[in-house]
Amino acid sequence: MKRKRRRLYTVLIGMATLGVAAALVLTALRDEVVFFYSPTELTERPPPPDMRLRIGGLVEEDSVRRADDGVTTNFRVTDLTTAVSVSFTGVLPDLFREGQGVVVEGSLAAGGLFVASGVLAKHDETYMPPEVAEALKKSGKWQGNQ
């Protein structure tokens, strides 16, 4: 009897911990998940302003401009069908280059400008972020392992 009751307590504590953890996970997943948009999707069905999201694609050729404050960079991310203007204040990753794949996290501001809080470029030449490949596939411009 005593043994059974102890086991019951252990199970109850376990269930309580798991319950709390599950509640935490579900709330966090609802609030903190960041959705991915390709530039075309972003223009066709824009998300609510100030929602954190990621966009991915290639940095459009000849689109990178340094703003006058010296630390803000403006560029365009394209899936080769649609391009989105992005503004980022900070130092870009070393491998950020025109024509390269890039994933940008941030939110859509008024006027369709994407204000980035972070820029992910790949670490080496052979790595393509899956999101970028996906965006290019959606726009039909994917050419194998480019």
**Binding region for another protein (CB under 8 A):** 2-3, 6, 9-10, 13-14, 17-18, 20-21, 24-25, 27-29, 31-36, 54, 66, 69-71, 89-91, 94-95, 103, 105, 120, 122-127, 129-131, 134
**In the bound complex, what is the minimum distance in angstroms from residue 26's beta carbon to another protein?**
10
Cα torsion through 92, 89, 41, 26, rounded to 10 = 90
C-alpha closest to that of 55 among 138, 131, 141, 139: 131
**In the bound complex, what is the minimum distance in angstroms from residue 111's beta carbon to another protein?**
24
**In the bound complex, what is the minimum distance in angstroms from residue 95's beta carbon to another protein?**
7
Nearer to another protein, 64 or 113 (CB): 64
Rounded-to-integer distance, Cα 130 and Cα 6, Å: 49
Q: Per-residue b/e over 131-143, b at no fewer than 16 CB within 10 Å?
A: bbebbbebbeebe
**In the bound complex, what is the minimum distance in angstroms from residue 123's beta carbon to another protein?**
6
Instruction: Quote the radius of gyration of the chain (alpha carbons, Å).
Output: 22
Rounded-to-integer distance, Cα 39 and Cα 82, Å: 6
Nearer to another protein, 43 or 129 (CB): 129
Nearer to another protein, 47 or 113 (CB): 47
Nearer to another protein, 110 or 143 (CB): 143
Contacts of 19 (CB under 8 A, 6+ apart): none
The torsion angles phi and psi of 24, rounded to 5 degrees, stand at -60, -45
**In the bound complex, what is the minimum distance in angstroms from residue 74's beta carbon to another protein?**
14
Nearer to another protein, 5 or 110 (CB): 5
